[in-house]
Amino acid sequence: MINIRSNDNFKSPWIVGHRGYCARFPENTLIAFEAAASAGATMIELDAMLSRDRRVVVIHDTNLDRTSNGRGNVADKTLQELKRLDAGSWFDTQFAGQQIPALSEVLDLLGRRIYINIELKSNAYESHHPADAIERQVVEMLRQKNLLDVSLVSSFEVNFLEQIAAMEHRPAIAFISEKPADPNTIRMCRRLNVFSWHPDYRIISQSQVQKMQDAGLKVFPYTVNTRADGVKMSGLGVDGIITDDPELAGRWINAV
Ligand code: G3P
Ligand code: CA
């Protein structure tokens, strides 16, 4: 695996497995990440927040209700309590026993086999920046596991990007947005040396893609789930797509 920033990486659009391979597997579980890697995704995307005992855990929603048999907020449970929950049956009974992973488990599973996009959920941002803030834990974990050069940390929350940009050893960072990029966004991305822009695919245009690429950013729209949208994004010249079905997306992209 070469450094994520290498331009040799972008000869064809990347396929990014959103929450793993969440069209066919329970999102943000080890089986979904393994399936995305097997399906040929270039990178997987996952969602990260903190448990009550301040461990980095991989789950999308603030509360447990939709994607596990637990109830209540993730931030009110310890990692051990979260690990007791079933995070697979809600999707299909054949996945009973899948757990909410700690981030370290996902990194150990995938290692340097595939690029990893860690989205820091906005609700995990702490303005007083404690020593064990999620962004510090994540970057330190990547450093210890020798994954800094093959990881991408993204967020809607610009403050996370500010914090990481100031670190001496840091992974590539990405800005996620539901809104078109304006001159302030472009200035911020340049100032923080942001690697990629992850817009909602519904708000981008040819000129937006061009503007961001001219500013030196890669463009990875989310969440592109139909062939028509995949072909459209490819036509706009994006650098990759974030999709729930990496296997299907690979077929659309290769057919263009
Ligand atoms: O990282 C892009 C996308 O995952 C952001 O939206 O809600 O699916 O985390 P969401
Ligand atoms: Ca996400």
128 is known as an active-site residue: no
For the record, the structure tokens of 247 come out as 């296997």
Ligand 1 pocket check: which of 45, 62, 201 to mutate, most ligand atoms within 8 Å of Cβ? 45
Confidence of residue 253 (pLDDT cuts 50, 70, 90): confident
Distance 106 CA to ligand 1 centre (A): 18
Distance 242 CA to ligand 2 centre (A): 9
> Ramachandran region of residue 43, left (φ > 0), alpha (ψ -120 to 50) or beta?
beta
Mean pLDDT of 53-62: 98
Confidence of residue 20 (pLDDT cuts 50, 70, 90): very high
| Residue nearest ligand 1's atom 6 by CA | 222
Distance 222 CA to ligand 1 centre (A): 7
**What is the pLDDT of the chain when averaged over all its residues?**
97
Ligand 1 pocket check: which of 21, 47, 195 to mutate, most ligand atoms within 8 Å of Cβ? 47
Catalytic residue from among 60, 128, 169, 198: 60
Confidence of residue 168 (pLDDT cuts 50, 70, 90): very high
Q: Which atom of ligand 1 is nearest to the CA of 121?
A: 9
Using CB distances shorter than 6 Å, the residues near ligand 1 are: 18, 45, 47, 60, 119, 154, 176, 198, 222, 242
Distance 241 CA to ligand 1 centre (A): 12
| Residue nearest ligand 1's atom 2 by CA | 222
Please give the backbone phi and psi of residue 137, each rounded to the nearest 5 degrees, phi first: -60, -45
Distance 54 CA to ligand 2 centre (A): 20
Instruction: Give the pLDDT of residue 152.
Output: 98
Q: Which ligand is nearest to the CA of 199?
A: 1
18 is known as an active-site residue: yes
Instruction: Give the pLDDT of residue 255.
Output: 73
Mean pLDDT of 20-39: 98
Confidence of residue 83 (pLDDT cuts 50, 70, 90): very high
Confidence of residue 87 (pLDDT cuts 50, 70, 90): very high
pLDDT at 256 over 90: no
